[in-house]
Amino acid sequence: MEQEGKFHLYLLIGQSNMAGRGQVEPQDREAHPRVFMLDKAVKWAPAADPLHFDKPIAGVGPGLTFGRIMADREPSIRVGLIPCAAGGSPISVWKHGGFWEQTNSKPYDDTIERTGIAMKDGVLKGILWHQGESDSNENDAELYEDRLVDLINTLRKELKAPDVPFIAATLGDFVVEGNPHARVVNEALRRIPQRVKNTAYVDSSGLEHKGDNVHFSAESARELGRRYAEAMIRLLAQ
């Protein structure tokens, strides 16, 4: 599918709010002529929500809106989305051999394998990360920043993409309210650009949950995708 480096790949990783849990509507099923997704069978298909397949409840996440914006920005390219998020997964399983029972998967190993296959067809242009809810506890929150730095560096090394932009999003206001450990995780996410080059964070402030106090609504997930795209465009311009 690659045409002179014109197939731009973006990796979507983290837990359920990256995988998406928003209610799918007709607009989320409309195919963009130049946006594709690497499906469960590791084949390229027109991108439509749900992009992810980690759990049967996968729905609207930020990835599709992000991909459409990146494609519209540069009419000469195609965009390939690589969905690899695993609902509920703590950052501790995002390492070699890490197994996550909820999704019966090895999130990190699966990510490396799927991205390697995708990179035969295109060029990895960026990584989007949304995770941290499962680490918002007294045992893991203080360790989160160093763990995320290690993950970014390991991903870049293994994917042979030492400078690939990496963008994380903060946890939703509804997750942070009343949970001091979630505030610690958000502070860590905001410090990542100071710790690792060519990284950024996007703020989830003002986004709403779908009624469960855990997952972004479809509308908020789409807005998060727009925020990711704005941040990616700024990073790529640098």
Q: What is the tens place of the pLDDT at every residue in 2-59?
A: 555 699 999 999 999 999 999 999 999 999 999 999 999 999 999 999 999 999 999 9
pTM of the predicted structure, to 2 decimals: 0.97
SS3 232: helix
Cis geometry, peptide bond prior to residue 50 (ω within 30 degrees of 0):
yes
- DSSP labels, 50-72: ----SSTT--B-SHHHHHHHHHH
> Residue 218 CB: number of other CB atoms within 10 A?
21
Using CB atoms within 10 A of its CB, is residue 88 exposed (0-12), middle (13-18) or buried (19+)?
Answer: middle
pLDDT in tens, 127-178: 999 999 999 999 999 999 999 999 999 999 999 999 999 999 999 999 999 8
Instruction: Report the helix count and the strand count for the chain, using DSSP H and E.
Output: 7, 7
Q: Which residues contact 85 (CB under 8 A, 6 or more apart)?
A: 12, 13, 14, 15, 16, 18, 19, 52, 54, 61, 107, 130, 131
Q: Using CA atoms, how far apart are residues 200 and 2, in angstroms rounded to an integer? A: 27
Determine the Cα–Cα distance for residues 27 and 101; give it in Å rounded to an integer: 32
CA 30 distance to own-chain centroid: 21
Query: Over the stretch 80-135, which tens digit does the pLDDT of each residue have?
Result: 999 999 999 999 999 999 999 999 999 999 999 999 999 999 999 999 999 999 99
Domains defined along the chain, listed by start: 7-237 (3.40.50.1110)
